[in-house]
Amino acid sequence: MKGTTKRIHNSGSVPSSDCLFCKIIAGKLPSYKVYEDARYLAFLDINPFATGHTLVCPKKHGETLWDMDEHEIGELFAVASRISRSVVSAMNADGFRILQNNGEAANQVVPHVHVHVIPNMLEDKGKFAPRQKLSPEEMQRAAEAISKELLG
């Protein structure tokens, strides 16, 4: 596949040993995990746009989609799609948003590929909510509800 050789700017670029998400994947940092398989991990965003806002990321470190092959990208979005069904059901949402940022200019905060799955309510149509700070109890309840839907 032909493509550009331009590097996407991430001022927060770090080796995988210092990557926040790699540390979560390795269990060195806590998270509200909702799904895990051999290649992917899904956990709640610590500063969500909505209760149940989930991040889906590959366990293999890479900063942007350009660090993945097409098969891996397809798998990542297939997992995100599966997670979205459980997030919508568990949060009793009316819809969901899939968001994937590449590079600092696109608002990528953590330089590790990840997909946001954000539940939305009909009354919020046309709005983009600010980030929230939920209590540990609210986060735990949301994670358990999503995990339960995934198992069901």
Active site residues: 114
Q: Does an H or E element contain 54, and which?
A: strand 54-58
Query: Among 105, 96, 38, which Cα is nearest to 72's?
Result: 38
**Which amino acid type is present at position 44?**
L
**Alpha helices in 15-135, H assignment, sequence order:** 20-25, 70-90
In the block, residue with structure tokens 């979560």: 24
Tokens 């470190």 belong to: 61
Alpha-carbon Rg for the chain in angstroms: 15
> What is the spatial distance between Cα 115 and Cα 86, in angstroms, rounded to a whole number?
15
Residue 86: name the closest of 121, 131, 119 by CA: 119
